[in-house]
Structure 1
């Protein structure tokens, strides 16, 4: 991608290093739009290909050009009827003893994304970026129509001016403000999560989980905590429901090992069973307690997160 646009007959100039400078920000934008880290990376790669072919420096800076292309790519990818969601968006909570049911297809779910692929390195931007890539917020965004989603992300998350968004979308400032107003009205409220990771809480959670100490584990949960396990639509609400299910489950995760990682600006844990990759667990934390546990039963996420497929004690390091 280091070729000059001039070599292709155009007046612009774009190098691979210039494109890479925008990768994290663009991936974060596409992830919020699409709800899948894999699809977000595909969208960014397609954006770079189009930029390499079409960028014309005489028509403006590279960054808005890239966002214009990325928006177009994402809107094209969102033409299908499928809306990604979390289990809590698909139906009422299960009761202890209810069967898991049949797994749903992968495109039904909001999937996690590694922190390093979407979070900026600038501490001044980190807090806002974390909140806007949380699983709950990204799932809420999926309830908006695609163009509403794009306008809300650009205006409220990335803090673009209305005139900049209007130029990007090829519309008027009045239209952008109208779309933004409707998007804000439709966006479901999302419970806040703790800004800082409570290392003591996380250590206690890991210890209780690996020992399969149900009493200790449940004591770390908020009374209204949720637990879900994509790709199953089954989910639980409430500490007592979780206690009942775990106590009756014949300790299926006893002997499991957990490795720290980070996903969606939140603490996450790679779960290994019998020494093999099993699931990626994303925790939501609020008020010093775990408010949500989402266990993604897909070992295919491990390479995406830079995690090995088998467990070794040397892996017990924070990421």
Structure 2
């Protein structure tokens, strides 16, 4: 099978280098998801990642005639996308979380005006990086590498350190290969990797979300998701609070307001969120339990938010809500659903 795939890629490459655009599209399609996920980790934004992939593939098409196979096509494409991401990240502000934008609020009726522009870290639709992954260990690592806390921590790194950490620890390149991709030395790569590891370690939880989910087990995860969705749809604040850690947080960019602690989160849910009915559809977001959240208006339920659950020791430590219509619209879910009795 591998030999046949290699022969197919060689055939497509030869045709593409002769100017066959259809062959080029087929050639790069098998790498598109990986490139997209790589750009998302680098930039913290779905839209920025899409822009970077498009720019990279245009550059790859223009430079394909000069590709001589000294590295694999995958490595060559990742070199192009990495350098595109470095250029884009140098021109755009760092994507951040609500905690980094300002202090928590206690007034649930003052949520502030939406903060627009390329400011907020965005969620990643589904766990595309692990889709059809044949190696369970590799799939686990891919899911860890798109978790919200990890991607947020990456945004605190200088661009080169960010690229080094992703290329070495997520994509598995050697120091020599990374040095070739970035046009530097293996010694510089190793130094950057040490500094990047230290920064990310300071900004990420003791256990990854994949470890938290593994500790729950499939039945525990299913029970938590069902309990959360049921309580939310019933506007059952006490039941929701039973699922939360004492220091739970609720965020909702692009609104700047966020709430810290079970008491304030509970007040926000009771006084603001559940003023209208909701229906939740479970899904996976950033490799974590998530929900497409539909808000009712009497006739139907319209997609109004995406919620992502971050866990600690079996309880919900952070409900990461995203309510920007442009961000929510990028998720592969229906924009409307009918009430359950229709």
TM-score w.r.t. length of structure 1? 0.89
Residue of structure 2 equivalent to 1:189: 203
The answer to whether the Cα contact below 8 Å between 2:120 and 2:253 also exists between their aligned partners in 1 is yes
The answer to whether the Cα contact below 8 Å between 2:13 and 2:27 also exists between their aligned partners in 1 is no
Out of 43, 56, 60, the residue aligned to residue 51 of structure 1 is: 60
CA distance in structure 1 between the partners assigned to 2:264 and 2:28 by the alignment? 49
1:118-267 alignment runs, 5 A limit:
118-122=129-133, 123-187=136-200, 188-191=202-205, 192=207, 193=209, 194-196=212-214, 198-249=221-272, 251-253=274-276, 255-267=277-289
TM-score w.r.t. length of structure 2? 0.84
Higher helix share: 2
Change (3 A) 1:7 1:239: same
The 3-state SS of whatever aligns with 1:199 is helix
Unaligned runs of 5+ in 2: 1-11
Out of 280, 289, 305, the residue aligned to residue 279 of structure 1 is: 305
The 3-state SS of whatever aligns with 1:39 is helix
CA distance in structure 2 between the partners assigned to 1:285 and 1:156 by the alignment? 23
The answer to whether the Cα contact below 8 Å between 2:130 and 2:140 also exists between their aligned partners in 1 is no
Out of 5, 27, 42, the residue aligned to residue 18 of structure 1 is: 27
CA distance in structure 1 between the partners assigned to 2:236 and 2:274 by the alignment? 9
Q: Which moved more, 1:118-127 or 1:287-296?
A: 118-127
CA distance in structure 2 between the partners assigned to 1:195 and 1:160 by the alignment? 28
Shift of 1:96: 4.2
Structure 1 residues 99-140: Cα deviation after superposition (integer angstroms, max 9, x where no partner): 211211141101011124333422331211111111111111
Unaligned runs of 5+ in 1: 315-319
Q: Residue 289 in 1 paired to residue 315 in 2?
A: yes
CA-based RMSD of the aligned residues comes to: 2.3
CA distance in structure 1 between the partners assigned to 2:339 and 2:46 by the alignment? 28
Out of 92, 111, 124, the residue aligned to residue 103 of structure 2 is: 92
Change (3 A) 1:313 1:62: farther
1:303-314 alignment runs, 5 A limit:
303-312=329-338
The answer to whether the Cα contact below 8 Å between 1:127 and 1:195 also exists between their aligned partners in 2 is no
Q: Which moved more, 1:216-225 or 1:121-130?
A: 121-130
Q: Residue 37 in 1 paired to residue 55 in 2?
A: no
Residue of structure 2 equivalent to 1:317: none
